[in-house]
Structure 1
């Protein structure tokens, strides 16, 4: 097993997108929080699928409670932590759903779990990407930096000129 500290030391902390995607790939089980339909926070495991052109993609299933929650309150926060280095990445953003077949195909290509559970019911899977993304890397290891990032992408609203 690769030493996690060496992994974190090798990240390019000047490039927030590469930090987020590298950590999400290294630790494929993240936890995401939504605002529940009852107004209380809800946390659940989720799986980052891929990044393309600066856009972070995930998926859910149309009959999941989380889908209904994200429709009603489209803000999420995702966190992944490595206990061995006491380091974590936290990402916040606005959920935007897509039923683009190419995106759904990529989600399946990047997830054996999704494929094993839903390959016969692909029509129930919906992709989503994040806009207005803010991310932070934090660590209790003194050798690692604390960084915050705004990860703009092509779907973010451009400021009026």
Structure 2
């Protein structure tokens, strides 16, 4: 699988759920949105005053899962991955995210250099693209794609 297939899936899903290790050592899960693929990397963003930022600075590892339920739920695609978050001051990426997201545009007053606006990419990515037809207990059918594993 290519990185562009993963980013396309994340775009189609729209909303993903990211798990981090909380500052209290307990798992924390929150909705996030994949922002852009740039320079061979998957980019996300956050605010430096949010707990997610502090958690990722302390422990860079995340798990991410996303799906968008289809009418034919057995064909519903879902993605799951584990990766390491790397913060980088990248003005080009920040501008791209501002153009993509109305929420980010408003939150940071259309200022890509806003001091609270932080971007990060994922590295050491391992995951799989699946559909609900893979659920154990369902009969095997040729029209169900097998899980596609990936590593970047």
TM-score, structure 1 normalization:
0.78
Instruction: Determine if contact 1:16/1:135 at 8 Å carries over to the other structure.
Output: no
Q: Tell me, in whole angstroms, the C-alpha distance in 2 between the residues paired with 1:54 and 1:135.
A: 16
Residue 103 of structure 1 deviates from its aligned partner by 1.9
Query: Deviation of residue 67 (structure 1)?
Result: 0.2
The residue number in structure 2 matching 1:18 is 4
Find the aligned partners of 1:96 and 1:52 in 2 and give their Cα distance: 14
Cα deviation, residue 46, structure 1: 0.7
Contact 2:38 2:93 in 1 (8 A): no
State the Cα deviation string for residues 82-133 of structure 1 (Å, max 9, x = none): 3223431012111110122222112212211211222266221011011101
Measured on the aligned residues, the alpha-carbon RMSD in Å equals: 1.6
SS at match of 2:109: helix
Q: 2:44 aligns with which of 58, 66, 70?
A: 58
* Residues 39-48 or 142-151, more deviating: 142-151
Instruction: List 4+ stretches of structure 1 deviating above 4 A.
Output: none
Q: Which runs of 5+ in 2 are unaligned?
A: 134-140
Cα distance, 1:43 vs structure 2: 0.3
Unaligned runs of 5+ in 1: 1-14, 152-161
The alignment status of 1:118 with 2:90, answered yes or no, reads no
